[in-house]
């Protein structure tokens, strides 16, 4: 396996001159798979910046909910952006919605897309099945990107035959507000793919940073162990959830405390991230699961997405 990777790296670097001169892809048409918290935000921002976007999910009901959420969010953005011009505000909302369409059949829409951004459930098997299928239907030039928070990009890319056109594109929640995108380059991602994605994130008005395919990339590698340590502090009875949040806001200058942040990220997402890292490296003390978090997720108490919050949980 390592040999295959080395061979691939060698062949990529030996053709580096060709790669440098190869034309970057100007992304105009984007397919976003998954219309949940992240996918809806990514679709909104891409459509608002003039890209043609197809948003894909499993049912028309989910897509109707996503589109409604996007419209409401757009109205808020437009109200701020065109504070003194209601006509321009309406036009912005209508134009953006005009750039957006929906589908329940990813395979049927990817033939004409420049970029597929996947934001479905955080499960390697499900992501692999999706990309393996789309690989057969997408155009040759199409770049695939995953928004995964915790899985190895390489292990998703390996489900396809286009490892050179595969990378991580890690957005932050809420997507319309958060400026950062981590662009993840695996040893097999071509320079052309990487640069095309960096350019794409800039057209979205985002700030790209680059990171290797390492657990948690930059932000989550620092953030998730911090969130888990807050849960452990509370589990041990050392301090209340409210005091921990207040302490980090007033003492460390963070805009939100760790429990407020877990509500935003989703208790389930946080649990899956730590579980995945624990599987990869069970000895790492930063990657240990928390029993109280596991219990809440088993009870379907997930934070904002289920309409409550950590302060109410026992």
Ligand X SMILES: NC(=O)c1ccc[n+]([C@@H]2O[C@H](COP(=O)([O-])OP(=O)(O)OC[C@H]3O[C@@H](n4cnc5c(N)ncnc54)[C@H](O)[C@@H]3O)[C@@H](O)[C@H]2O)c1
Is 38 a residue that touches ligand X (CB under 6 A)?
yes
Euclidean distance between CA atoms 105 and 108, whole angstroms: 6
Least Å distance between CB 257 and ligand X? 16
> Considering 170, 190, 196, 260, which one is annotated as catalytic?
170
How far apart, in whole angstroms, are the C-alpha atoms of residue 47 and residue 87? 19
Nearest alpha-carbon partner for 305 in 266, 269, 273: 266
Whole-number minimum distance, CB 199 to ligand X, in Å? 21
34 is a site residue for ligand X (CB under 6 A): yes
Tokens of 314: 């026992």
Identity of the residue, 151 or 290, whose beta carbon is nearer to ligand X in the bound complex: 151
Choose which of 12, 19, 22, 62 interacts with ligand X (CB under 6 A).
62
Q: Is 152 in the site for ligand X (CB under 6 A)?
A: no
Residue of 152, 158, 269, 270 interacting with ligand X (CB under 6 A): 269
Rounded Cα distance, 147 and 221, in Å: 15
173 near ligand X, rule: CB under 6 A: yes
User: Is 220 labeled as catalytic in the residue annotation?
Assistant: yes
- Which of 30, 48, 93, 119 forms a contact with ligand X (CB under 6 A)? 119
Candidates 25, 48, 54, 56; binder of ligand X (CB under 6 A) is 56
Here's the x/- map for ligand X, 127-146, by CB under 6 A: it reads as ---x----------------
Q: Of 47, 48, 122, 163, which one interacts with ligand X (CB under 6 A)? A: 122
DSSP 33-99: E--SHHHHHHHHHHHHTT-EEEEE-S-HHHHHHHHHHHHHHHHHHHHHHTTT-HHHHHHHHHHHHHT
Contact status: 260 vs ligand X (CB under 6 A)? no
Pick the stretch among 50-58, 79-87, 90-98, 228-236 that binds ligand X (CB under 6 A): 50-58
List the one residue from 147, 186, 193, 201 that touches ligand X (CB under 6 A): 147
CB nearer to ligand X: pick between 121 and 250: 121
Q: How far is the CB of 91 from ligand X (least distance, A)?
A: 29
Q: Which of 118, 182, 190, 260 is catalytic?
A: 182
Q: How far is CA 148 from CA 242, 243, 302, in A?
A: 30, 31, 18
Q: Tell me the two tokens of residue 220.
A: 């989550």
Give how far Cα 9 sits from Cα of 103, 125, 146, Å: 37, 25, 21
Q: Is the dihedral of CA 191, 193, 195, 201 positive or negative?
A: negative
Q: In the complex with ligand X, which residue's Cβ is closer, 194 or 272?
A: 272
Of the residues 32, 39, 78, 262, which one makes contact with ligand X according to CB under 6 A: 39
Q: Which residues contact 306 (CB under 8 A, 6 or more apart)?
A: 300
Please name every residue paired with 29 in a beta bridge, in sequence order, or none if there are none.
52
Q: Give contact residues for ligand X (rule: CB under 6 A).
A: 33-39, 56-58, 62, 119-122, 126, 130, 147-149, 171, 173, 265-266, 269
Catalytic residues: 149, 170, 182, 220
């Amino acid at each position: 396996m390592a040999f295959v990777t080395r061979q691939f790296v060698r062949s990529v670097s030996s053709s580096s001159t060709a790669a440098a001169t190869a034309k970057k892809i100007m992304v105009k048409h984007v397919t976003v798979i998954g219309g949940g918290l992240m996918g809806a935000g990514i679709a909104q921002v891409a459509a608002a910046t003039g890209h043609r976007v197809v948003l894909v999910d499993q049912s028309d009901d989910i897509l109707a909910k996503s589109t409604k959420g996007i419209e409401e969010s757009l109205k808020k953005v437009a109200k701020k952006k065109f504070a003194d011009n209601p006509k321009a505000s309406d036009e912005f909302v209508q134009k953006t919605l005009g750039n957006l369409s929906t589908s329940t059949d990813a395979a049927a829409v990817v033939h004409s897309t420049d970029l597929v951004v996947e934001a479905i459930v955080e499960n390697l098997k499900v992501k692999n099945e999706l990309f393996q299928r789309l690989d057969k239907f997408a155009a040759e030039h199409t770049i695939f990107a995953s928004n995964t928070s915790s899985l190895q990009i390489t292990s998703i890319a390996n489900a396809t035959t286009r490892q050179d056109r595969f990378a991580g594109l890690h957005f932050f929640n809420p997507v319309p507000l958060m400026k950062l995108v981590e662009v993840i380059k695996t040893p097999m991602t071509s320079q052309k793919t990487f640069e095309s994605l960096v350019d794409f994130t800039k057209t979205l008005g985002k700030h790209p940073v680059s990171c290797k395919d390492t657990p948690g990339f930059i932000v989550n590698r620092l953030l998730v162990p911090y969130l888990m340590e807050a849960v452990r502090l509370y589990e041990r009875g050392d301090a209340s959830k409210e005091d921990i949040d207040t302490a980090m806001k007033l003492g460390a200058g963070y805009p939100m405390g760790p429990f407020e942040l877990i509500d935003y990220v989703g208790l389930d997402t946080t649990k899956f991230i730590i579980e995945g890292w624990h599987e990869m490296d069970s000895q790492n003390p930063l990657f240990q699961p928390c029993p109280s978090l596991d219990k809440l997720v088993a009870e379907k108490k997930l934070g904002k997405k289920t309409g409550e919050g950590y302060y109410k949980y026992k």
